[in-house]
């Protein structure tokens, strides 16, 4: 009772410009600033908020996804990922003019949006315009002809759209530009693994592991393919040290 009365007296003494939180008192102005900051952080989510929102929307059913994407574009029209995702929905419905529009907008805001490029090629093919599909595919592949990383990205996008020939063309171009890239060898290995071509998958995954032995996922795939892999000596030494620390800790406890 005495404590409660003391707090009530303290609250009155602080006046209308201060909030009393038990042992702490916060001026009203400072409290307002803190509250505004919290709202902004939650509402905005930082510089990648739109991308995070698109990722969340991908998990929703198609109709809800479309509505959410349209709301997202109302807030920020210049979001290439949202336009791309909306284009995919319209393409799945056979609404090709709408899909093409959103792919074009996505590429307008991000000319290097490889997923939108591959989807555009697929759109023309589904629409029956094979010549235009090939022309656009050639244009996009020429755009990445001097960049291993971009050729790899476009290859991945083509692979997701089931364009095996275009994907392999991009992968091989990337490998020509960066023959000692573990990442590129790994992706080509995974590509052949998805096609159940175990011989070629083993070849590229083995080379990737030689170039960068710190790839447990590649080691796992090679093990499943029947290839014996060995952890690098440096990693073995670090593992032994860690094991000793754990053993010593177990003894002490």
List, run by run, the mean pLDDT of 10-residue segments along the chain (253 residues): 39 38 42 42 45 61 83 94 96 95 98 98 96 98 97 98 97 98 97 96 97 95 90 50 43 44
Burial of 140 (0-12, 13-18, 19+ CB in 10 A): buried
Are 82 and 69 contacting, i.e. CB atoms less than 8 angstroms apart? Answer: yes
Match 């093409």 to its residue by tokens: 100
pLDDT at 33: 43
Token duo for residue 124: 């023309």
pLDDT at 52: 60
CA distance 60 to 68: 9
Residue 128, Cβ neighbours under 10 Å: how many?
9
Are 81 and 53 contacting, i.e. CB atoms less than 8 angstroms apart? Answer: no
pLDDT at 230: 77
pLDDT at 245: 39
pTM of this structure? 0.68
3-state secondary structure of 22: coil
CA distance 214 to 228: 15
pLDDT at 229: 82
pLDDT at 65: 84
pLDDT at 42: 38
pLDDT at 116: 98
Q: In this structure, what is the dihedral angle of CA atoms 70, 75, 79, 82, given to the nearest 10 degrees?
A: -20
Burial of 14 (0-12, 13-18, 19+ CB in 10 A): middle
Contacts of 61 (CB under 8 A, 6+ apart): none
């Amino acid at each position: 009772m005495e404590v409660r009365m003391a707090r009530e007296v303290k609250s009155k003494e602080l006046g209308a410009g201060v909030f009393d939180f038990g042992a702490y008192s916060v001026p009203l102005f400072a409290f307002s600033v803190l509250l505004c900051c919290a709202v902004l952080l939650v509402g905005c989510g930082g510089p990648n908020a739109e991308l995070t929102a698109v990722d969340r929307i991908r998990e929703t059913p198609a109709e809800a996804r479309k509505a959410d994407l349209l709301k997202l574009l109302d807030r920020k029209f210049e979001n290439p990922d949202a336009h791309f995702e909306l284009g995919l929905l319209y393409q799945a419905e056979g609404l090709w003019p709408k899909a093409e529009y959103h792919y074009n907008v996505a590429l307008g805001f991000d000319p290097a949006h490889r997923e939108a490029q591959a989807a555009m090629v697929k759109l023309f093919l589904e629409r029956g315009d094979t010549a235009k599909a090939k022309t656009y595919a050639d244009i996009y592949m020429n755009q990445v002809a001097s960049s291993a990383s971009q050729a790899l990205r476009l290859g991945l996008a083509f692979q997701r759209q089931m364009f095996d020939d275009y994907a392999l063309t991009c992968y091989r171009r990337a490998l020509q530009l960066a023959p000692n890239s573990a990442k590129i060898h790994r992706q080509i290995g995974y590509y052949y693994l998805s096609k159940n071509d175990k011989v070629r998958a083993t070849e590229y995954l083995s080379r990737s592991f030689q170039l960068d032995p710190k790839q447990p996922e590649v080691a796992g795939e090679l093990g499943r393919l029947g290839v014996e892999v060995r952890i690098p000596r440096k990693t073995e030494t670090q593992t032994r040290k860690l094991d000793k620390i754990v053993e010593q800790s177990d003894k002490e406890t």
